[in-house]
Amino acid sequence: MKRNSWMGMTLGLVVVFSSLCLASVAPEEIAIEGVKPGDSIATAKQKFGASVRRGDEFYFANGVVVEVRKKNSKTIEEIKTLEKGHATPSGVAVGMRETVLTDHYGQADKVERDYEGVDYVYYSTDGKKKMKFEVRSGIIQKIKCELD
| 97: CATH | 3.40.33.10
Q: How far is CA 140 from CA 20, 76, 86, 128, 137, in A?
A: 24, 23, 12, 23, 9
Is 11 within a domain? no
Domain presence at residue 88: yes
Whether 128 maps to a domain, the answer reads: yes
Indicate whether 69 belongs to any domain: yes
Which residues span the domain enclosing 36? 25-147
pLDDT value of residue 22: 56
Residues present in the chain in total: 148
Strands (DSSP E) contained in 17-128 are 51-54, 57-60, 64-68, 76-81, 110-114, 117-123
Residue 3 lies in a domain: no
pTM (whole model) above 0.85: no
Q: Does 15 map to a domain?
A: no
The answer to the question of residue 75 being in a domain is yes
Domains of the chain: total: 1
pLDDT of residue 6: 46
Question: What pLDDT was estimated at residue 20?
Answer: 44
> Over 80: is that where the pLDDT of 98 sits?
yes
Q: Which range, of 9-18, 92-101, 128-137, averages the lowest pLDDT?
A: 9-18
